[in-house]
Structure 1
């Protein structure tokens, strides 16, 4: 299944909420997008690694924006979305994540980071090990404006985003994501979670 995936890992903010009716900016079905931000449904029958290619355009104010790879859960209100995110964190979902930049010279690995808790209220950023293991999901905020402009925010739904890994900057270009769920993929399917590759919301 082809898909594509403060600035501080572990950043946590209010759930994304929809704008009033009439402001939808859907450009195409979400499962057909090949430019980030992207979301994809996760199916229990697809048990192998997810491999996808996607484009990263430069943002007007940032030619190397921050990007994260993770999942999002939705609910009818912020409480429902938050409860779904809490259950996924408690389930211990883990994954191996690799991103490669594609150009005329071939595929070049992108250095990815993850958030690691160092106390009940504090976290630090560490580089992923060479095997790409991200042992846990952490709270992330997707950039609301670009998600909305891509038509990925539905009226009547609230969202919570959880990240496996991120990069503080990603130059415009073509990339390939290889993601393999290591533990408890079934929890993602049960939660009706979607894979998400998105710009990270920047701190105020």
Structure 2
């Protein structure tokens, strides 16, 4: 009897401890979900960019375009009362995550010898304007979330909110990269 009581007490304690450790101590801000959805939408556009790169044979790395996007983001940062350097880091993380998707997809297609047979929008006329529109929305949502970046629960909120957003393991990894700049740990 004593043994079963200890077992039940131990099991109950383990269950409570795992629940406490798994759940954030505070409710995530409402601004997190739309921000992550926009980041995920931006990542999914990487699939279309990869298709255009496959067809054209152009390299994924486009340093002049990346510099232009970051410069534009720094300028827009002031409209949202954001630190231009933090915004540059956020946008650079988005581009790195997007390239991760592109490299992953191109590698898959090289193995099979073909890319999916889906419509290819024009990179300059359709995809880039969409990315520019998403950047404005992203900065607005980032501004709404910015006050929560240093919250001790931010990493837990982020991990929980990211769960289930990505379509596959490649996009999940890229989403981790895209959100790597969102939470700021306090210096110890």
Do the structures match in fold with TM over 0.5? no
Greater Rg over alpha carbons, structure:
2
Bin of the TM-score, shorter chain as denominator length: under 0.3
User: Counting strand residues as a fraction of each chain, which structure ranks higher?
Assistant: 1
